[in-house]
Structure 1
Amino acid sequence: MQWEGISEFVYVAENESFTLASKKMAISTAQVSRQISALEKRLNIKLFYRTTRKVSLTEEGRVFYQHCRSVLDGLDAAERAITNLQSKPQGKIKLTASVTYGEQHILPLVNDFMQLYSDIEVSAYLSNRKIDLVEDGYDLAIRLGKLSDSSMMAKKLGKRTNYVCASPVYLEKQGIPHSISELNKHSCLLGTLDYWHFTELNKEKSIRVSGRLRYNSGYSLTDAALKGLGIVQLPDYYVQQHLESGKLVSLLDNYRAPDEGIWAVYPQNRHLSPKIRLLVDYLADQLS
């Protein structure tokens, strides 16, 4: 009896919505509402302020939430401890990553991982759109660059380097830029942004660039650079092999922006289960 309504209360508190809480718990909104009402009656306190637009915790509700969250975290820890006793990790992992990096680097490693652990199931969705992990029920996201969402926990898996480069043919015709101010004299191959990132005098700096070509595909931009159509700024996994072969030449190395992180990101209120921690550690080992 004393546990009734606790899970519903925590889900509503964290989602600020009876509807979202019901979807996460796979029960009806009416059932969630009944459990919350019964809990408030049993405790003889008001847990939520309710309006047509928003659900928010009362002062008493915030205090009660902190204790309930600790209790549920303790139950999760107990379940993980039992899972750790199993000889094989098992269960489902739902993850997301950006399209190109996911295709070329993450999913091949996930395939290797699954060969090692036959009782684990993985569902992956690749998208360049930033997905809400909590709302869409994801266990894990692989994200690149600077992290902006402070509500998430993150583990660094590796790093990437952004190179500015061009083909020898282009440089022979158009000359070599020796400072970032000279980029305005060159044809720059654009991605989704008009800005390229650099470091000048120990400060990070964004420079607006322009050109007659814009693609939202790193591989297509690489191909354009190889064919002498201009200068490009791209992460190492697009251009590294071409830099090593001499088909592309690295430029403005003294102005190169700091390396960016490759991150495993997961919701703050969830502790990593053994199977997810195992995958994260495996990716970190392979990508480091």
Structure 2
Amino acid sequence: MNRWEGLDEFVAVAECGQFSAAAERLGLSTSQVSRQVARLEERLQSRLFYRSTRRVALTEAGQTFLQHCQRLQDAREEALRAVSDLGAEPKGLLRMTCAVAYGERFIVPLVNQFMAQHPQLRLEIELSNRPLDLLHEGLDLAIRLGRLQDSRLVATRLAPRVMYLCAAPDYLQRYGRPHSLSELSRHNCLIGSSDHWNFAEGGREAQVRVQGNWRCNSGEAVLDAALRGFGLCQLPDYYVLEHLRSGALISLLEQHRPPNTAVWAVYPQQRLLSPKVRQLVEYLKQGLAQRPEYS
């Protein structure tokens, strides 16, 4: 005997409150539904419904059993959708957001390549340095940098993100090289979006408030000022690795480099991602891994 027999009929009766309404929902006869539920009760050795001439009501055992059956139905439908979605073509509207500079440099080119491969997809990208609320704004996806704060979101790691403290050789020749976090107060620090820089000290994260005569909320602008020898900067790897390799910048206080953060794809909690979001996230992950900044 199939141990699953009667579960769909039981749930339909519980949700509809009548055998006839459940039969209509399932496209079966009332007698078929009644027979399946009776067989289910017999197998369970437990009464699931109190029956009257007009309506039925769940027993205590029925209420407990219903919760489990509904979860089983959800899991079954999710499994079926997961398989059918494997080859599904991304289509419809996808709304996403990303920080401006990172989006322009890395994400939008990859998204455009993805769009070229999937002409049924429509896209809206909002580049903003303000972290938008995905649920409130109705967004399907966000690309976030650093550490995540919103526990309502599910995250997939797309790429590493290592922070470097560095300066141009010219600056270091004139002002010396810092050998400890306490020495940062003696240096001109090029401040980006925050005057609190993150480091590692004694196995823990530490924040140091820095100061200087230059500030701009653009990573590219901070990089340009650092290359000109204006002061120290703390920037992610994708800004500075090329210049560290060429010697145009020198990495400093490497023993205090903050724990690696990351580039994340985040999306609202849901049991199954739509094909458009799932396939784009995987495409971004593969595309970023091929960039020289992450090699």
TM-score (ref. length: structure 2)? 0.70
**Corresponding residue number in structure 2 for 1:132:** 133
Q: State the Cα distance separating 1:92 from its structure 2 match.
A: 2.1
- Map of 2:230 onto structure 1: 229
- Give 2:93's aligned residue: 92
Tell me what 1:197 maps to: 198
Aligned equivalents of 1:106, 1:224: Cα separation in 2: 25
**Alpha-carbon distance in structure 2 between the residues aligned to 1:85 and 1:212:** 55
Q: 1:93 to 1:127 in 2, by over 3 A?
A: same
Matched, 1:166 2:164: no
1:204 counterpart SS class: strand
Q: Show the counterpart of 2:146.
A: 145
The reply to whether residue 207 of structure 1 matches residue 203 of structure 2 is: no
Q: 1:162 to 1:66 in 2, by over 3 A?
A: farther
Tell which structure's C-alpha radius of gyration is larger. Answer: 2
- Structure 1, residues 120-163: CA drift from partner, whole Å, max 9, x if none? 22211110111111111111001011111111111111111111
* Superposition CA RMSD, Å: 2.8
Q: Aligned in 2, Cα 1:148/1:69: closer, same or farther, shift over 3 Å?
A: farther
Aligned residues: 230
Q: Distance in 1 between matches of 2:126 and 2:75?
A: 28
**Counterparts of 1:245-260 in structure 2 under 5 Å?**
245-260=246-261
User: How has the CA–CA distance of structure 1 residues 131 and 210 changed in structure 2, closer, same or farther, with 3 Å as cutoff?
Assistant: same
Asked if 1:119 is matched to 2:110, the reply is no
CA distance in 1, matches of 2:194, 2:114: 35
Shift of 1:169: 0.7
Q: Distance in 2 between matches of 1:68 and 1:185?
A: 64
* Structure 1 residue aligned with 2:48: none
Higher alpha-carbon deviation: 139-148 or 265-274: 265-274
Q: Structure 2: which 5+ runs fail to align?
A: 1-14, 17-65, 290-295
CA contact (8 A) 2:115 2:121 kept: yes
Match of 1:272, as an amino acid?
A: L
Letter in 2 for 1:208: R
Per-residue displacement from partner, 1:197-229 (whole Å, max 9, x unpaired)? 111121111111111111111111111111111
SS of aligned partner of 1:199:
strand
C-alpha separation between the residues in 1 aligned to 2:81 and 2:262? Answer: 32
- The reply on whether 1:283 has 2:284 as its aligned counterpart is yes
Alignment partners' CA distance in 1, 2:67 and 2:188: 57
Q: CA deviation at 1:113?
A: 1.6
Aligned in 2, Cα 1:66/1:182: closer, same or farther, shift over 3 Å? Answer: farther
Contact 2:162 2:262 (C-alpha < 8 Å) held by counterparts: no
Summarize the Cα distance change of 1:232–1:106 in structure 2 as closer, same or farther, 3 Å threshold.
Answer: same
For normalisation by structure 1, the TM-score amounts to 0.71
Does the CA-based 8 Å contact 1:83-1:89 persist in structure 2? no
Q: Is the 8 A contact 2:82 2:272 kept in 1?
A: no
> Once the 2 structures are TM-superposed, how far is the Cα of residue 76 of structure 1 from its aligned partner?
7.3
Q: Which runs of 5+ in 1 are unaligned?
A: 4-63
> Residues 214, 75 of structure 1: CA spacing in aligned structure 2 closer, same or farther, 3 A cutoff?
same
Aligned 8 A contact 1:80 1:274 in 2: no
Partner of 2:272: 271
